[in-house]
Chains A and B, each alone.
Chain A
Amino acid sequence: MDLTIIIFLLGGLFLGWSLGANDAANVFGTAVGTRMIRFKTAAIVCSVFVILGAIISGGGTTETLGKLGAINALPGAFAACVAAGISVYMMTKFGLPVSTTQAIVGAIVGWNLYTGSTTNVKVLITILSTWILCPIIAGLIAMFFYIITKKFIQNSKLHILRLDAYTRLALLLAGAFGAYSLGANNIANVMGVFVPISPFTDISIMNLFIFSSKEQLFLLGGIAIAFGVFTYSKRVMFTIGSDLLKLSPVSAFIVVISHSIVLFLFASQGISDFLQSINLPSIPLVPVSSSQAVVGGVIGIGLLKGGKEVQWSIAGKISLGWFTLPVIAAFISFLILFILQNILNLTVSF
């Protein structure tokens, strides 16, 4: 493989690394931060399931991003990824719970604007509406789970120690599901822009199945996410678990499972097809923000408890992120594309 291709792919891998470092904390942060699960256990489970989710179910959301703007040159894809990475880093510095999803969408629109390609407005509106829906649905699911979990605990009269053991197991299973959903839903952010221009070729494994070039890209992206989990997520997990969200382990489980369901809903081709088959509106397969799904879940529980614990400033910051991050990412993407094309003389689109 050409060295330049590897360099360009590094843009996506960097984004994958930052996704692993930050978003894995949403899945296992509270469990690790409250010492319910060891970091090593969390990191292994998270990495394995992120990779599985990316390879098995990552196709749907990637297709949607492809419809928004089909970046057709490697330097263009590189510019989009780097722009997304930089803008996420900037917003994180301001303490905003942003996501790679919003950044990559902004960056793709930036590429569209720079290259004069048309942006599919219908797809853009679908994506924007899912961002608003994501925390709301997560909040509603968290409310539902909170009510039934509370009832279950009250009626079962479980010993505090038995409840602790079950909660650990539940956190681990919900975390595995969350990691799978994260991989399935967010791999598009990391590798989606490279799919149309994948440098890999399909590999037939013992004539039993074909390991497609897209799956190879997703595996690479998944490994980058796993690398981020192992190298940098520990600190973020302890911050989430002990500072940001003061949740009981049971509430933490509810938040994680709600977040995982939402991410899975927006990534599952099967559920989407099923809803369509029974004449219900299908769920658009769109990469959504895991951070905002978590915050949605926390707000849902907070509202059930009377609303006093809800930090409305965070809710305000989320909605600010919906608009500012894509704009910033689009602007940076535009700037990087200009540099690549006019200073480095690289082709950013065909």
Chain B
Amino acid sequence: MFGLKNNSLFGDTKKLEREIDEFVDILSEVGLVFKSIIPTYLNHSANGKFEEMVDRVKEMESKADKITKEVEHTLYEETLIPDARSDVLRLLEHLDEVIGMYQGNCYHFSIQKPDFPKEFHQDLIELTNTVVNCVEALCLTVRSFFRGIQSVRDNAHKVTFYEKESDIKFSALARKIFDSELSLDKKMHLRYFVEKIDRICDQAEDIADEIQIYAIKRSI
């Protein structure tokens, strides 16, 4: 009935709602773990804990991938939300990329072990906090897209705000690095990490912009 292969219209809907909610929860949790990963990394005495946290991020990333695939299958097989299906799937893929960027940062720290002098620690932690706040605002934007599109604009505005903050903090830290007495190869290496963290915000802002367009399309 209703164009579905089986009659579990509301059953499938509830399952998918749960999966999408769980996906956004993972995005938010990965951010919170990432927020503690950076200070843990900078505190060299806790390297065992750092690797443990990286593994946790990896697990969450795999779970998010699995959910994306399941949602994709159900949406297409059961022809649900035909008018917004492609938007929802693109959104989930782009959000999955954010989780991937978090994971990528963790791996790079784990493999390349950049040596951040103490004078940059506070700036790096602050930049990370801003990035995580930006993604948290993105999570709210995503949730409002699914449950109450009238708040999408407000939440998307917060994403833009944090993205600008992150740019300011990135520029200040990059300037500080290049003004330091470090050798050029070390400066370039540290800049690479700072830039990679800041890029998460750029991706978040792009997604928030996308969501605003999807919300306009969703208005009845």
Contacts and interface: CB of A to CB of B under 8 A. Distances in A.
B18 to A, nearest CB: 10
A157 B147 contact: yes
Contacts of A235: none
Nearest to B145: A160
Contact of A172 (B2, B17, B84, B219): B2
B79 to A, nearest CB: 5
A150 B220 CA distance: 7
Given A34-B83, A36-B82, A146-B220, A165 B13 contact: yes
Contact of A160 (B1, B9, B81): B81
Nearest to A41: B1
B157 to A, nearest CB: 19
Interface residues of B, number: 24
Nearest to B151: A157
Nearest to B82: A35
A117 interface: no
Given A153-B220, A165-B9, A158 B147 contact: yes
A218 to B, nearest CB: 28
Interface in B55-103: 79-84, 88
Nearest to A171: B2
A251 B220 CA distance: 6
A169 B84 CA distance: 18
A161 B80 contact: yes
Contact of A164 (B13, B147, B148, B219): B13
A162 B17 contact: yes
Contacts of B146: 159-161
Contacts of B10: 165
B47 to A, nearest CB: 43
A37 B2 contact: yes
B147 A41 contact: no
B82 A159 contact: no
Contacts of A150: 220
A160 B84 contact: yes
Nearest to B148: A157
8 contacts: A35-B3, A41-B2, A160-B84, A164-B84, A168-B2, A169-B2, A249-B83, A254-B220
Per CB-CB distance, the 7 closest pairs between chain A and chain B, nearest first, are A38-B3, A250-B220, A157-B148, A35-B82, A164-B81, A165-B13, A168-B2
